[in-house]
Amino acid sequence: MKTIHSVVIALALLTQAQAQTITPTKANIPYVENGHERHVLDIYAPPNAKDLPVMFWIHGGGWQMGDKSDVGIKPKVLVDRGFIFVSTNHRLLPEVGMDVLIADVAKSFGWVHRNIAKHGGDPQRIFVGGHSAGAQLAAILCTDERYLKKEGVAFEVLNGCVPVDGDTYDIPKIISTAEHRRTVYGGKMYTFGHRQKFGNDPEKHLDFSAVTHVAKGKGIPPFLLLYFPGNPDTRAQAEIFASKLKAADIPVTSFGKGDSNHSALNNDLGKPEDPATEAFYKFLDPLVATK
């Protein structure tokens, strides 16, 4: 009897989760002509969409894995709130270097800016978000103007940036922290850790760090930094990044959700009564209304 009850609960939860997901209105759209198989994105839009704000989302996976389908219920809840949701793929490490990977994301964003009006979006009202590795990519895209400038896009089109539980806004610090732990407490040193992923060159580590590029007067958009405070690395990185943004007079809100973890923080985003979701909407709503 207990087993049957457990199965019923599991099926109910599955049904509830499925009710909160939607399929893309347009899937696997190439953003590079004759490009790589991962040069594709998905668009989620409500019927008869026109001039709607856009959420451009970058998946996580340590820059080595992950897929644009890893979006949870965010497309459903944001479409219901009058957004276009775009989720992109990009090439992965170690097939390409980090500079090429970031350039892929910028190319995808450039395609969205040029084409999203055809799908009901407003090219002048785009938010950028991402989880984990995607948080670093979102942050660098919205602070280092060189990537979007190469695609003919200015920061002025950015309404806001929402990195979720990233640990690489200041790459030299996370490298030092992780390697110091190994030195002090033992364990084999990383062979493909952050040091290697970001190019094994201290200058590159600085250049790929969002904190390096924060400055006044660049048009950097407002930020919402969501993080799990139980992870000392993502908490510290959010605090470091927030302090840099505040010092440059860039609006920033940091929100730590304690009853969670790295994956759940992202997967729960959009659920009713979820405190991180409330912070998410509180950040988005006034920015959508005032631009």
**What three-state secondary structure class fits 165?**
coil
Residue 37: other Cβ atoms inside 10 A: 9
Predicted pLDDT of residue 199? 94
Tokens of 26: 């347009």
Q: First-to-last CA distance in the chain?
A: 56
pLDDT by residue for the chain (291 residues), tens only, comes to 445 544 434 343 333 444 578 999 999 999 999 999 999 999 999 999 999 999 999 999 999 999 999 999 999 999 999 999 999 999 999 999 999 999 999 999 999 999 999 999 999 999 999 999 999 999 999 999 999 999 999 999 999 999 999 999 999 999 999 999 898 998 888 889 999 999 999 999 999 999 999 999 999 999 999 999 999 999 999 999 999 999 999 999 999 999 999 999 999 999 999 999 999 999 999 999 876
Map out the domains of the chain as residue ranges. 24-290
Burial (CB count <10 Å: 0-12, 13-18, 19+), residue 88: buried
Give the Cα separation of 262 and 245 in Å (integer): 23
pTM: 0.93
Predicted pLDDT of residue 11? 40
Residue 97 backbone phi and psi in degrees, to 5? -80, 170
DSSP string covering 238-251: HHHHHHHHHHTT--
Give Cβ neighbours of residue 269 (< 8 Å, ≥ 6 apart).
Answer: 72, 73, 74, 164, 226, 276, 277, 280
- DSSP state, 151? T
Predicted pLDDT of residue 291? 64
Position 44, amino acid: Y
Q: Residue 59: which of 101, 15, 9, 95 has the closest Cα?
A: 101
Residue 226 backbone phi and psi in degrees, to 5? -100, 135
**What three-state secondary structure class fits 225?**
strand
Predicted pLDDT of residue 289? 86
Give the Cα separation of 276 and 110 in Å (integer): 29
State the virtual CA torsion across 271, 72, 64, 90 in degrees, nearest 10: -120
Q: What angle do CA 125, 21, 19 make, to 5 degrees?
A: 135
What dotted CATH number matches 24-290? Answer: 3.40.50.1820
Give the Cα separation of 123 and 113 in Å (integer): 5
State the virtual CA torsion across 83, 84, 87, 88 in degrees, nearest 10: -130
